[in-house]
Homo-oligomer: A and B are copies of this chain.
């Protein structure tokens, strides 16, 4: 089955069969777990659960939970135990997209080929849906869906505190503030890199840390995985910017050139598409270099890095 059909990364390269099979299996596990974690739409108040499920099951790539599961396995863990926590990371990502798409922020009508949450449920419910998903993420970090699993509450608490720091005003939310407040408009590459690290990189980095911390990895392994996450996150944002200029809206599932219409400073605009591509390649090389000490165990993350570079959506 071509990777397109697996839905994680549409790309020009051919994926190895073991890569395709790994992604497909993990994605199934993640979707099953998400289905069990997010309340059913039959539960009152129905509209919020419908709306939560609308956005959670809108065809996301599941990049963050897959990274957490992969890091966990590399560090010696058995995937099933980490699934609810890994899904919490996806819920945080989904909440941030719903709020970012609101008319008072990026004002986007389409996301992953479907109308954005507020277009379907209205702005009030969209704000509350984001709030509910963020809160549910912490339930997942702190024991929801953990029955029968072996993760210690003590370790979960340590991890959840780390994710909260990465998601708050000095992380994900801070990055979005810089983005809408137009901070990168000083047109300094360093400011743009900080914005992008906070907005995208930190949650990707902490997804890898999640796997490492929960598997009780040693310091060196934690450093390797976190370093990979930081570089991968930056590469991911740069390719996003490039796709926003060169991509086609059907593959992307959202409008292209929306950055320019929002007058956003992007890597593609600041460096030019070609030089941005060079930069993305350098990040990917650095990401793979971070994995070197882990050897063959890290094969999946290495292959994934190549696909981030080649992705079309």
Contacts and interface: CB of A to CB of B under 8 A. Distances in A.
Sorting the interface of chain A by its residue count into under 10, 10 to 19, 20 to 34 or 35 or more gives 35 or more
A47 B152 CA distance: 38
Contact of A104 (B127, B139, B158, B160): B127
Contact of A138 (B154, B158, B164): B164
B164 A153 contact: no
Interface in A119-178: 122-128, 130-132, 134-136, 138-139, 142-144, 152-154, 156-158, 160-161, 164-165, 167-170, 173-174, 176-178
A190 interface: no
Contact of A173 (B135, B156, B161, B176): B135
A143 B161 contact: yes
A153 B143 contact: no
A76 interface: no
A207 to B, nearest CB: 16
Contacts of A270: none
B48 A131 contact: no
A164 B132 CA distance: 9
Contact of A136 (B123, B154, B169): B169
Contact of A131 (B49, B130, B181): B130
Interface of A: 39, 43-45, 47-49, 52, 95, 99, 102, 104-105, 122-128, 130-132, 134-136, 138-139, 142-144, 152-154, 156-158, 160-161, 164-165, 167-170, 173-174, 176-178, 180-181, 183
26 contacts: A39-B170, A44-B178, A45-B174, A45-B177, A45-B181, A47-B181, A48-B169, A48-B173, A48-B177, A99-B127, A99-B131, A102-B124, A105-B124, A105-B127, A127-B127, A128-B173, A131-B131, A132-B169, A134-B134, A135-B164, A138-B161, A142-B158, A144-B161, A152-B154, A153-B157, A154-B157
